[in-house]
Structure 1
Amino acid sequence: MTASSISELLYHSRLPVCVFQNGYCKYANPLMEVITGYNVDLLRQISFINTLINQEDRLDVEENIARIESGIDYHSECEFRLFNRQGMVLYIKAFFSLTELDENPAVLAQLLDITEQRLAGEALMVNAKKYSELFHNVNDAIVLIELTEDGALKRYLEANDVCCQMLGYTRDEILALTPPSITDDETKSKAVSIIEDIVENGKTRYEAYCIAKSGMKIPVEISSHLFYLNDKKVVLVSARDITERKLSEEETRLQKAYFQQIFESSPMGIVMLNSENRVIQVNHSFEAVFQYSNEELKGKYLHHYIVPDIYLEERFEHEPTALQGTIAQQEMVRKRKDGSLLHVDAVRYPIIFDDRQVGTYVIYRDITFQRQVEDQLKASEARCRELNDSLPEVIFEIDLHGNLLYVNRNALTFFNSTREEFEKGINVLDFIVPEDRDRVRKNMFRILNGEKIGENEYTAQRRDGSTFQIAIHSSLIIKDNKTAGLRGILIDITERKKIEERLKTLSLCDSLTGLYNRTYFEHELQRCERICPYPLSIIVCDVDGLKFVNDTLGHDRGDALLLAVAGVLKQSLRECDTVARIGGDEFAALLPNCNCSSVEKICERIRKTVEGYNAAHPELPLSISTGAATGEASRIRDLYREADNNMYREKLHQSKSARSSIVQTLMNALKERDFITEGHADRLQDLVVGLGKLIGLPEHKITDLRLFAQFHDIGKVGIPDRILFKPGPLTSEEFKEMQRHTEIGHRIAQSAPDLAPIADWILKHHEWWDGRGYPLGLKGKEIPLECRILAVADAYDSMTSDRPYRRAMSHETATMEIKRCAGSQFEPQLVLRFLQIFNMY
């Protein structure tokens, strides 16, 4: 081909075209000037390949041209990056073919600019990567299910990492299953209707159970959405594990059922009122006594139904004290639905929630029958005795000295005695415990002198020494216009006292420590302000580091500290002092008749008791900040504030040292136990230092690596020994508990200045190169280099050391396993460098 014919061909081409011979551009058309930025003359003078083509692509281009020039190939094509004169990078697709110039072989090159296509392709790859990261990093398990044309389930298309972890399957195992095989039988039976709902509405939400590979049923909340992917119907199913919520709901249901059982089984009528005194609920006994159903009274004011008109004002007499958080008791007349009247003994208890009163309980005991019995006794002694023998209560009469003149038949069973024993002569005090006898004598004297004292409670005792609670209501016996003795009714109130005590404990005591709560303490403050003699002292205490212990070691350990504080305070204070838990980590004590010198001695005694406790329990030290104040009871609120301020001043001085002491204790525990195997930390330090030096880490990084190797497992101080030293494989639940040690260690390290630089590494030292580690699911170089170094060294030392559940592997076996896991658990390059350590010795 002649030069003129080549020029004619190049000029009319619609693509940039040039002719190469001996590595240089001999001819080029105008479009080559456009794409390269060089005119034709310059293109002939420069080395086209070395000047314009990316260095990484030159060899491929040279080889293609050489094969054409040598006659090996007649046609070829390749892609390369071209730098134009303006410095822009263009993606070019070249089509080479053999030609002839001046009777010598040459190469004809036609260039196609594919820059836009390549950039669009790269953008698609970036979007695909973002979608994959989002798909696999969400908290919920997600699967994609393809539907057939008629809307039936066809196959699983994809499953994210969370789904695989939750169910225990690999991704390939899930994709090999047939939908809906990973759900329970009930959900499978509803699959057709569920899919119909999705197809009709585009989405649906329901609860179901997923079946893990182990067979375990996992409760989940499922949200499904229909969309189209490449003209295929696809359902995105998102499943959230609701196991904890289900357990919480079940616990709440059981507690409610337990309360309801106690409420409904009570022999006494009980009504629950809200803060506005409207009825929330009444029990069966209440319905039986007053003839109103729960539905009739719910949401209504109770006094509109059961208070006779003539007693409407009386209903308010006991309410003020109940609304102030105290217990109120009163005998009164009430009416039934049919209009008949009855006498009741009503006890009103406050309902306290979060240190505030949200309502009240009222317990009604129908005493109508007892009142009628008292009236009948006045009318006919004989008739009353016959009637008394049929009563479940004890009816008695005594003379002026307390000797029993008469008891009904039930008294024999009541006191486990015989009729002969009663007839021989028994004093009523014989059935009362010694500590209550003086009070019985005083009350008898009051009644004999004409005072009406109503019902009184005592502790009674039987012949066999057993005791029980009783209530006695007595009245005078008048003969010949003279007082001859007393008669009355004795009632076993054991069950009532149990209910009262249970309600009192719930309203006035702290359920964890058994100490009084803030409600009771506030009541005592008011009482002391009125009657407490001078001097009065107040001590306020705060548990240092409690939140830190709760966050790192769990609330069980925090509760144990609170119980220890309660024990220290009870041991250090006097019997006459009142101690209460008034907040989460705050305690307070009222000390009557206690001056400044005495309260200082008591505070010192608290400190000594804490020291004794810490000596006996070095595994978790106790630290208490205390503040005290002494003064007159009339300024008790000022005293409390002063004691509280003193406590906070002390807390500012020692809170940091308390937390440091706890952390230091945990660090010492780690050193002493050297978890799992003797010398693990020391060997691990040598391995990570060797690998760190081999890859050229600076000396300050090597120092941090030593510290990291020594304390990477400090979080295991918060893992129970039954899991930590279990001789066999862990269950899935135990493994989840073990995984918490990274987060526990992270929190501990953040609180220790010496460990703070490695806190982030402690959190991430169980992450895997492929993203299947924990707790964050990081992968690749998202994982800190120090964690990747430790992962290889820790795995090697673990495999070559004895464990409670297996013997140590040989060096060869361990290194083969590390090679196998390169690219999944470990960074491949670090594995190669790690194995070089052993080749150096």
Structure 2
Amino acid sequence: MESSAKKGEQLHNTRMLYADWRISAATHSMIYHCKDGIAWFDTKGRIFHHNPQFMQMFGQNRTTLRGRNLAEIPVLYDALQKDFNDVFSGEYFTQEIEIPVGKTTYYFAVELGPLWTNRKIFGGYLRLRDITEIRHQEELLRERELLLRQLVTKAGLGIVIIGQDHRVIEANERFAEMLGYTHEEVLNLYTWDWEVITSEEEVRKQFSDLSRVDTIFETKHRRKDGTIFDVEVSAKGTSFKGKNEKYNAVICICRDISKRKAYESEIKYLSFHDELTGLYNRRFLEVEMKRLDVERNLPLSMIVGDVNGLKLINDAFGHFKGDELIKATADALKKACRADDLIARWGGDEFVIILPQTDLATAKEIIERIKRHVDEIDLGLIKLSISLGAATKEKMSENIHEILADAETNMYRRKLQESQNVIRQAIALIHDTFLEKNPEAAQHAKTVGKLCQKIALAMGFSETTANEMEALGLLHDIGKINVPLAILKKPGVLTETEWSEVSRHAEIGYRILSAANETADLARYVLYHHERFDGYGYPAGKKGAEIPLQSRILAVADAYDAMTNDRPYRKALTRLEAAGELKKHAETQFDPKVVSVFVEKVLPTLN
């Protein structure tokens, strides 16, 4: 029995030894093939075993590190020296170390601990895992995170993350800045704290399923100070995984579009308004005519107005003065009309007013009111005048465009009666204004007028025509109204620009005088009075008989008076000297026949 028990115990011990051997072999194989570097060392720090990976890490060109002291691997020993002695006290350590090798730094996760046998420490083990690539990836991630954080923080777009309770989870500085809050204050806001056009209930409904939100829309946000501004919001639902649960949120990217909306409003305003007057323009009026052409607006009246003498004012005083006239007319129309009346600038000097639910009698009362306001306008030397006509649509069968045409016809009838008187007054005013500014020109005009009259009579013209020639002499320099006195009185030679200013006076005079029936015939003679007989004059380069005879007479009279009076650039010539100059330039600058008549018949009669 006893022998049998001993045999059983021996068998058991044999099996245990075999099992221990198998475990030891498996452990050795695992350590040998492990990717980590593993080494065992005694209490003196001498390595008595290591795996191939440890050898690759620190063996350099050696075939083995067994028997060598850890201190002979300074890059490792220096990093772990303070922990080695503690290992023999039974302590375990884990840490990360950096080991520079040339220009490269390697990172290792280190495990350091004691080796035991029969409850005694006989050495220690060292396990190193190369985590260099992991650290490089982490560094890249940190750099990217920093870059993204800077991008989000510094971006010109407001970025906000809104949670399921519609409260701000996170926002960048730009979003806080847009709303006028600090970053900390924004984190306590709910969406309805800044949304303007939506209520809390509407916001909750809109974002009921945050994960499905995917939209771009324009809205208005309210700043901390209560001011409102336009924004474009790009909202995208997303899911976040927290420590304990998954929750939904929406990321909103907000762009301040206040400037763009203001620009769009301005473009829209300009597309329907006249830039000069601020009134509606023709495009808008044509659209509104269709909209207002309904039965409930009957009777529907229309007034057409046309400013008298605008072209004349533009020619005489420049377009700035003409613009002033147009703006003053627009102001008078606005003052005279009612709130529901639609006023538009139809064209250059023409205005149209639509009067819903207005009969013809009331439209005529409004016309009288407009005239009173026009009469009250003071533009200095310029007298504002506008001709007005009205027509009324009383039945839906009547065409609204025909009503507009009727109003325009009635306006032109009034204009035929009123405009010529206005133009006559304007021409007289322009002429008087020019002569008041330049007294020498006044005397010159009178003298030239008398000389023209005398030459005409000497050449056999009728007395009526001779009187017209006197008027021609009086008005011939009216186009100089726009030429600065500093140029007209300049003592030296004119620059090319200054000469261009002066030489335009014949054309301007022509346009001014063409406006009135009484002076329309004289306008042509004024236009050509600086042409030369040889064709080298201006503005058209006409020569000889192509130049009207009246213009040729005016040229001689104008030149003679200019030569016999002092000018800023020279002294006056005597009569004989002036006559000699006329003869000298006959057939080149002047008509020789006119010169001959003047020298032989007119000059001797002059005092």
TM over 0.5: yes
Determine if the alignment matches structure 1 residue 811 to structure 2 residue 556.
no
**Could you report, residue by residue, the CA deviation over 1:600-624 in whole angstroms, capped at 9, with x for unpaired residues?**
44433322232233x4254364424
In the alignment, structure 1 residue 417 sits paired with structure 2 residue 178 = no
1:657-698 deviation line (CA, Å, top 9, x unaligned): 314412431233113422662322222223333444445544
Separation in structure 2 between the aligned mates of residue 631 and residue 449 of structure 1, nearest angstrom = 52
CA positional deviation for 1:774: 2.4
Which one has the bigger helix percentage?
Answer: 2
Tell me, yes or no, if the aligned pair for 1:460 and 1:470 is still in contact at 8 Å. no
* Correspondent of 2:386 among 594, 601, 623: 623
Query: Does residue 564 of structure 2 align to residue 800 of structure 1?
Result: yes
Q: Are residues 751 and 616 of structure 1, via their aligned partners in 2, closer, same or farther at CA, if it must alter by over 3 Å?
A: closer
Q: Aligned partners of 1:447 and 1:538: how far apart in 2?
A: 49
One-letter identity of the residue aligned with 1:809: A
Identify the match of residue 686 of structure 1 among 441, 450, 468: 450
The 5 Å alignment of 1:317-356 reads none
**For the residues of structure 2 that align with 1:394 and 1:721, how far apart are their CA atoms?**
64
Instruction: Classify 1:668/1:533 alpha carbon distance in 2 versus 1 (closer, same or farther; 3 Å).
Output: same
User: Structure 1 760/520 Cα, relative in aligned 2: closer, same or farther at 3 Å?
Assistant: closer
Alpha-carbon deviation of 1:792? 2.0
1:468 Cα deviation after fit: 4.5
Q: CA distance change for structure 1 residues 827 and 529 in 2, over 3 Å: closer, same or farther?
A: closer
Q: Which residue of 2 aligns with 1:669?
A: 430
How has the CA–CA distance of structure 1 residues 691 and 603 changed in structure 2, closer, same or farther, with 3 Å as cutoff?
closer
Alignment correspondent of 1:455? 217
- Local SS of the residue matching 1:522: helix
Contact 1:551–1:747 (CA under 8 A) maintained in structure 2: no
Question: Aligned to 2:344, what secondary structure does the other structure show?
Answer: strand
- Displacement of 1:563 in angstroms is 4.2
Q: CA deviation at 1:649?
A: 1.1
> What corresponds to 2:418 in structure 1?
657
The letter of the residue matching 1:658 is S
Counterpart of 1:587 in 2: which secondary structure? strand
Q: Is the 8 A contact 1:677 1:802 kept in 2?
A: no
| Structure 2 residue 513 is the aligned partner of structure 1 residue 752 | no
Aligned partner of 2:142 in structure 1 is: none
State the 1:704 CA deviation: 2.0
In structure 2, how many angstroms separate the alpha carbons of the residues matched to 1:403 and 1:590? 53
Separation (CA, whole Å) in 1 of partners of 2:473 and 2:433: 15
Look up the match of 1:393: 158
1:647 to 399, 408, 413: 408
Give the SS at the match of 1:684: helix
Give the conservation status (yes or no) of the 8 Å contact 1:723–1:734.
Answer: yes
Partner of 2:540: 776
Change (3 A) 1:696 1:581: closer
**Cα distance in structure 2, aligned partners of 1:817 and 1:470:** 79
Mapping of residues 82-161 of structure 1, within 5 Å: none
Structure 2 Cα separation of the partners of residues 724 and 519 of structure 1: 45
Query: Which amino acid in structure 2 is aligned with residue 412 of structure 1?
Result: A
The answer as to 2:370 corresponding to 1:606 is yes
1:241 alignment counterpart: none
Q: What is residue 706 of structure 1 aligned with on the other side?
A: 470
Q: Which has the larger radius of gyration?
A: 2
Mapped to 2, the partners of 1:739 and 1:457 lie a distance apart of 60
CA distance, structure 2, for counterparts of residue 470 and residue 525 of structure 1? 35
Could you say if the C-alpha distance between residues 486 and 648 of structure 1 is closer, same or farther in structure 2, counting changes exceeding 3 Å?
farther
Within-5 A mapping of 1:179-218: none
Question: 1:543 aligned to 281, 306, 310, which one?
Answer: 306
Report 1:456-605 matches (<5 A): 456-458=218-220, 460-461=222-223, 468-471=229-232, 490-498=254-262, 500-501=264-265, 503-505=267-269, 507-529=271-293, 534=297, 537-544=300-307, 548-549=311-312, 561-591=325-355, 599-605=363-369
Which amino acid in structure 1 is aligned with residue 479 of structure 2? G
Return the match for 1:715 from 450, 471, 479. Answer: 479
Q: Secondary structure at the match of 1:679?
A: helix
Amino acid at match of 2:255: I
Closer/same/farther in 2, CA of residues 562 and 755 from structure 1, 3 Å limit: same
Q: Which amino acid aligns with 1:522?
A: E
Q: Which runs of 5+ in 2 are unaligned?
A: 1-148, 209-214, 239-248
TM-score (norm 2): 0.58
Distance 1:445 1:727 in 2: 83
Is the 1:508–1:520 contact (alpha carbons within 8 Å) kept by the matching residues of 2? yes
Could you say what the CA RMSD is over the residues aligned between the two structures, in angstroms? 4.8
* Deviation, structure 1 residue 502: 5.6
Q: Secondary structure at the match of 2:442?
A: coil
TM-score between the two structures when normalised by the length of structure 1: 0.43
Structure 2 CA distance, aligned partners of 1:636 and 1:571?
33
Which AA in structure 2 matches 1:823? E
1:99 matched residue in structure 2: none
Judged with a 3 Å threshold, the aligned counterparts in structure 2 of structure 1 residues 446 and 801 are, in CA distance, closer, same or farther, namely farther
- Mapped to 2, the partners of 1:592 and 1:460 lie a distance apart of 40
8 Å contact 1:544–1:655 — kept in the other structure? no
Mark the CA change 1:387 to 1:833 in structure 2 (over 3 Å): closer, same or farther: closer
Distance 1:411 1:672, change over 3 A: closer
Counterpart secondary structure, 1:777: coil
Structure 2 CA distance for aligned equivalents of residues 494 and 830 of structure 1: 73
Question: Is the contact made by 1:742 and 1:762 (CA closer than 8 Å) also made in structure 2?
Answer: yes
- Secondary structure of 2:280 counterpart: coil
- Please give the per-residue CA displacement for 1:341-382, whole angstroms capped at 9, x wherever unaligned: xxxxxxxxxxxxxxxxxxxxxxxxxxxxxxxxxxxxxxxxxx
Matched residue SS, 1:616: coil
Task: Name the CA shift for 1:817/1:403 in 2 (closer, same or farther; >3 Å).
Answer: farther
| Aligned-residue offset at 1:521 | 2.7
Q: What do residues 74-102 of structure 1 show as CA deviations (whole Å, max 9, x unaligned)?
A: xxxxxxxxxxxxxxxxxxxxxxxxxxxxx
Give 1:394 shift. Answer: 4.2
Q: Percent identity?
A: 29
Pick closer, same or farther for the CA change 1:412–1:588 going to 2, 3 Å. Answer: same
1:388–1:639 Cα change, 3 Å: same
Q: Could you tell me which amino acid in structure 2 is paired with residue 393 of structure 1?
A: G
1:706 deviation in Å? Answer: 1.3
CA distance in 2, matches of 1:593, 1:460: 42
Contact 2:360-2:390 at 8 Å conserved across structures: no
Partner of 1:786: 550
Query: 2:305–2:387: 8 Å Cα contact kept in structure 1?
Result: yes
Cα distance change, pair 588–727 in 1 and its aligned pair in 2 (3 A)? farther
Residues in 2 aligned to 1:771 and 1:469: alpha-carbon distance in whole angstroms: 67
Following the alignment from structure 1 to structure 2, what is the Cα–Cα distance between the partners of residues 652 and 472? 59
Paired residues of 2:180 and 2:223 also in contact (CA < 8 A): no
User: Aligned partners of 2:372 and 2:152: how far apart in 1?
Assistant: 62
> CA 1:630 to 1:405, structure 2 compared with 1: closer, same or farther past 3 Å?
farther
Q: Offset at 1:809? A: 1.4
Amino acid at match of 2:572: M
Preserved contact between residue 395 and residue 489 of structure 1 (Cα < 8 Å): yes
Corresponding residue SS for 1:789: helix
Distance between the aligned counterparts of 2:397 and 2:332, measured in 1?
A: 25
Displacement of 1:733 in angstroms is 4.3
For structure 1, which runs of at least 5 residues remain unmatched after alignment? 1-384, 478-484
**1:146-172 deviations in Å (ceiling 9; x for gaps):** xxxxxxxxxxxxxxxxxxxxxxxxxxx
* Greater strand content: 1
Moved more, 639-648 or 467-476: 467-476
